[in-house]
Amino acid sequence: MTASLQLPEILYSKIVEVAKAQSLSVDEFMILAAAEKLASLQHHEWLTGKAEPGPQNPCGAA
């Protein structure tokens, strides 16, 4: 699945600059940024009581 996102040129150039500095493609950088934002939102929901915390050990190991 692909999605199209229209970004202002100045913002896109900054994203390219940061991605290159981290040796990432723009796509990799955007995926990591989205995952980080999602984790932050989920953590905020847990802190405010809107969600339950995840399992302590999601792999099931003792």
Render pLDDT for 15-38 as a digit per residue (tens, 0 to 9): 999 999 999 999 999 999 998 888
Amino acid 55: pLDDT: 60
Amino acid 15: pLDDT: 92
- Residue 10, classed as helix, strand or coil, is helix
- Residue 48, classed as helix, strand or coil, is coil
- Residue 56, classed as helix, strand or coil, is coil
Distances (CA, A) of 47 to 13, 34, 51, 55: 35, 20, 8, 15
